[in-house]
Amino acid sequence: MTEIFGVSIDALFGQLLLGLVNGSFYAILSLGLAVIFGLLNIINFAHGALYMMGAYAAWIALTYFGIGYWPSLLLAPLIVGAFGMVIERALLQWLYKLDHLYGLLLTFGVALIIEGTYRHFFGVSGQPYPVPELLAGSTDLGFMVLPNYRAWVVVASATVCLVTWLVIERTRLGAYLRAGTENPKLVQAFGINVPLMVTLTYGFGVALAAFAGVLAAPVIQVSPLMGSNLIIVVFAVVVIGGMGSILGSIATGLGLGVIEGFTKVFYPEASSTVVFVIMAIVLLVRPAGLFGREK
Amino acid sequence: MKRGKICALSCAAALVVIAGCKDAGQSGGKITDDVVRVGVLTDLSGLYSDAGGQGSVVAANMAAEDFGGTVLGKKIDVVSVDHQNKADVAAQKVREWIDRGGVDMITDALNSAVALATSKVVAEKKKILMDTGAASTRLTNEDCTPYTIHHTYDTYALANGTGRAVVKQGGDTWFFLTADYAFGHSLEQDTMNVVRESGGKVLGAVRHPLSASDFSSFLLQAQASKAKIVGLANAGGDTINSIKAANEFGLTKTQNLVGLLVFVNNIHSLGLEATQGMYVTEAWYWDLNDETRKWSRRFFDRTKKMPNMIHAGVYSATTMYLNAVKATGTDDADAVMAWMRANKHNDMFGTDMTLREDGRLVHDMYLFQVKKPSESKGPWDYYHVREKITADHAFQPISLSRCPLISR
């Protein structure tokens, strides 16, 4: 069998695929962050907590109301997205004129409150969420056994990412949004309700996080800490991709997932730091990030 | 008459003085700041907060209540703090507790890094650490101190119980999935030794960061090793997510998982479907006998979950400490430690427990096997008792201890 640095090609293919699966989560989460930052200029630290809320919404729906995975995939983002809009109207809208730091601190506080509340009611060990029947089982690809559900994660998140990118970059609504960020007063003068648009955008970004949460529920234990384990890496992804760059966040998310996957084979101890090493290098060479534009 | 009055008064005064002296003689007059204060140092918010956390605080309070809230007429006070799983935070809090908070004994201290940092501080300040949560054997070997008691379990006992049993059942090739910090390394090393001693072979190991978000890559490596047994040298949420992913990737069809540190709460949150048949070594289980059941019901009424061995350990350690204070009449650490070393200890946690020179509390351990869903009568009915590992076999023999305090 062919080997690279003592690791068989088959094993590397397996890791590549797993990297893509993890990268899909990074992509969809960092996409939400990028949308929010790009249009609202808010660094949304509550993103991890909202992702966790999405997973819990699905778990609660299943446990207490018998609502299965597929309806939850739509319901949870709607519910959590609505919750996000409440946060935006009640708290965030007062901070737009201030420095980024205030938004970061506020959302960080919100994240702590949400996590603390869930921890109080559910404990940290978390709850198991079953894989939906349609996707149960696994496929033998020859070089590895891939659970069908993980394949679905890649497909679902790729679709959502693509659609989001198309809407923002290629439609009239997207054009309004981009114009609204550039010069809100002028856009308002054309008769477009900018505050409403901003609220809906935040809601959408949050809904993306919740969607990722539902996707993750069958893969990892649904626990109040699931967001905080992930969010720092996701922020690094956004910074590497370029703050606010939609395409950047998607491409970097997938890319870093793969790099992290390989690190887990060659030097597993570094797998939690490799993303930050890359971040440091990228910031030194291209301070605006790989896909970001210098202002 | 006047003279008679003076005499009566002085007699009374003398009596009071004598009585006072007698009382002081009994207690040695040595309860610092008139309060016996027990500090529960635990993870109240992170990944181990179900293993210890609020449950440990409740257990310590139950021990204080069983003493009637006082010892030698002085109030027993239980305080708690969140160490956030950070050794530096823990060391600083413990210093603060001892210097300003008047804490006499510290218990729980789960997370080995936290425990090692705490043991250094208590040794310097001459207070007592009765560790029920941490697992690293370093506490009673290289890093032993005259004031550290390792109460409940350690990695040697876990490895010895589970490792030996599994090799005996035919699981003779092992691959390890190890949490990359003091505890994981210690558990991995101890289990490797036991596996080799029992005639098994170790094929490899992979080390993952604490609180890793995804385990599939590591499990794929375990799968590629073709080892019969994949040993999980990790804890808490990490163990849960490893087991979950292992089921998902079909690893459990060809290989067997062995959780080296699994608490009954982990089984509860994973469900029997995913965990059935797994071997688990623990020092205690709520359903061992009438006494444990009775205590556990009381615990359950307050916390709405069953206690694990750490919670029971906190109760037992606190009781042991209070007994020692009562018997010696002081909270002076040297006197209390000497008494605990000299006497046997009995409570619902264990019988005839003895404290060794290296700080190891020696008691029975149990090998359990997780029940099938069909065998369980309901929530929290999870274990078959497979073997009682008697005290003299459960822990590292003192002859092998690397603790410099041992007189040889």
Whether chain B has a CB inside 8 Å of the CB on A222: the answer is no
CA distance B112 to B376: 33
Give start and end residues of each alpha helix (H) in B272-379.
Answer: 272-275, 290-303, 309-328, 333-342
Q: Residue B23 above 50 pLDDT?
A: no
Question: What distance in Å separates the CA atoms of residue B283 and residue B276, rounded to the nearest whole number?
Answer: 20
> Does residue B120 have a pLDDT over 90?
yes
* Antiparallel, parallel or unpaired: β B35-42 and A7-8: unpaired
Q: Give per-residue burial for B136-167: e unless 16+ CB within 10 Å, then b.
A: bbbbbbebbbbbbbbbbbbbbbbbbbbbbbbb
Q: Does position A142 have pLDDT exceeding 80, yes or no?
A: no
Could you identify the residue written with the tokens 């729980």?
Answer: B108
- Would you say the ipTM is above 0.90? no
User: pLDDT tens digits, residue range B132-174?
Assistant: 999 989 999 999 999 999 999 999 999 988 898 889 888 999 9
Q: How confident is the model at residue B2 (pLDDT cuts 50, 70, 90)?
A: low
| Residues of B at the A interface, defined by Cβ within 8 angstroms | 45-50, 53, 180, 206-209, 211-214, 216-218, 220-221, 223-224, 236-237, 240-241, 244-245, 248-250, 265-266, 268-271, 274, 305
Query: Of A128, A131, A144, which has the smallest distance from its Cβ to B220's Cβ?
Result: A144
CA–CA dist A92, B149 (Å, integer): 51
Residue A254 pLDDT > 60, yes or no?
yes
A144 in contact with B, Cβ within 8 Å: yes
Residue A220 to residue B244, Cβ atoms within 8 A:
yes
Q: Which of B45, B110, B213 to mutate to test the interface with A (most CBs of A within 10 A)?
A: B213
Residue that has been written with the tokens 């309860």 in this structure: B31
> Given pLDDT bands bounded at 50, 70 and 90, which one contains residue A169?
confident
Give the tokens for residue B252.
Answer: 């459990």
**Which residues lie closer than 8 Å to A201 by C-beta, 6 or more apart?**
A35, A36, A39, A40, A177
Closest CA to B105 of B299, B340, B265: B340
pLDDT at position B20: 43
A119 and B49: CB-CB below 8 Å? yes
Q: Do B216 and A150 touch (CB under 8 A)?
A: yes
A264 vs B207: CB contact, 8 Å cut-off?
A: no
pLDDT computed for residue A245 by the predictor = 82
Average pLDDT over residues B206-235: 89
Q: For an interface test with A, which of B85, B269, B304, B380 has the most A Cβ atoms less than 10 Å from its Cβ? A: B269
The type of residue at A75 is L
Contact B208 A22 (CB under 8 A): no
Mean pLDDT to the nearest integer, B44-52: 86
- 3-class SS of residue B74: strand
Q: What's the CA gap between B167 and B197, in Å, rounded? A: 10
Q: Work out the minimum CA distance from B236 to partner chain A, whole angstroms.
A: 7
pLDDT of residue A6: 66
On the question of pLDDT at A10 being above 80, the answer is: no
Backbone phi, then psi, for B329, in 5-degree steps? Answer: 75, 20
Q: Does the pLDDT of residue B63 top 70, yes or no?
A: yes
Element (H, E) at B40: strand B35-42
A149 in contact with B at a CB cutoff of 8 Å? yes
Count of all residues that appear for chain B in the document: 408
pLDDT at A198: 87
- A188–chain B Cβ distance below 8 A for any pair: no
B335 exposed, middle or buried (CB, 10 Å; 0-12, 13-18, 19+)? middle
CA separation for the pair A94, B293 (Å, rounded): 55
Which of A89-98, A244-253, B78-87, B177-186 tops mean pLDDT?
A: B78-87
The residue-averaged pLDDT of B99-118 equals 94
Residues B297-354: pLDDT tens digits? 999 999 999 999 999 999 999 999 999 999 999 999 999 999 999 999 999 999 999 9
3-state helix, strand, coil in chain B (%, to 5): 45, 20, 30
Q: Return the amino acid letter for B364.
A: D
Contacts of residue A148 in chain B, CB cutoff 8 Å?
Answer: none
Closest CA to B242 of B265, B272, B262: B262
pLDDT at A288: 85
Please report residues of B whose CB lies closer than 8 A to that of A21: 216
- Contacts with A234 (C-beta within 8 Å, 6 or more apart), sequence order: A26, A29, A30, A33, A47, A48, A253
Q: Is the pLDDT of residue A110 over 90?
A: yes
In terms of DSSP bridges, do strands B345-347 and B350-355 run parallel, antiparallel, or are they unpaired?
Answer: antiparallel
> Residue B28: pLDDT above 50?
no
Q: Looking at the complex, report in whole angstroms how far the Cα of residue B204 sits from the nearest Cα belonging to chain A.
A: 13
pLDDT per residue as tens digits for the range A61-84: 999 999 999 999 999 999 999 999
Residue of A nearest to B51 (CA): A125
Locate the chain A residue with the closest alpha carbon to B251: A145
Which of A51, A125, A233 to probe the B interface (max B CBs under 10 A)?
Answer: A125
Whole-angstrom distance, CA of residue B29 vs CA of residue B335 = 13
**pLDDT averaged over every residue in chain B:** 89
CA-CA distance, A124 to A294, in Å (whole number)?
42
> Reduced to 3 states, what is the DSSP secondary structure of residue B243?
helix
Average pLDDT (A44-60) is 94
Of A149, A226, A268, the CB nearest to B218: A268
Element (DSSP H or E) covering residue B204: strand B201-208
Instruction: Tell me if B262 sits within 8 A of B50, measured CB to CB.
Output: no
Mind listing the pLDDT tens digit for each residue in A180-230?
777 778 888 888 888 888 899 899 999 999 999 999 999 888 989 888 878
In the predicted structure, residue B248 carries a pLDDT above the cut 80 = yes
Residue A87 pLDDT class (50, 70, 90 cuts): very high
By percentage, how much of chain B surpasses pLDDT 70? 93
Binary contact (A265, B221; C-beta < 8 A): yes
Q: Which tokens hold the place of B248?
A: 């998902």
Task: Give CA separation, B292 vs A149, A249, B40, B297, in Å.
Answer: 43, 54, 22, 9
- Spell out the alpha helix ranges (H) of B29-176: 53-66, 87-99, 112-125, 155-158, 164-168
Name the strands in the sheet holding B256-259, side by side, starting at the edge strand that comes first in the sequence: B201-208, B173-179, B229-233, B256-259
Nearest to B401 by CA among B183, B84, B137: B137
Closest CA–CA distance from residue A15 to any residue of chain B (Å): 6
The region, left, alpha or beta by phi > 0 then psi within -120 to 50, assigned to residue A176 is alpha
Q: What is the pTM of this model?
A: 0.77
Across B109-130, average pLDDT: 95
Select from B47, B206, B244 the Cβ nearest to the Cβ of A124. B47
CB A62, CB A68: distance < 8 Å:
yes
Residue percentage of chain B with pLDDT more than 90? 68
Answer whether A264 sits within 8 Å of B217, measured CB to CB: yes
Q: Is A51 on the interface with B (CB under 8 A)?
A: no
Which tokens hold the place of A6? 């003592």
- Answer yes or no: is pLDDT of A265 > 90: no
DSSP 8-state secondary structure symbol assigned to residue B32: G
CB-nearest partner of A268 from B208, B236, B269 = B208
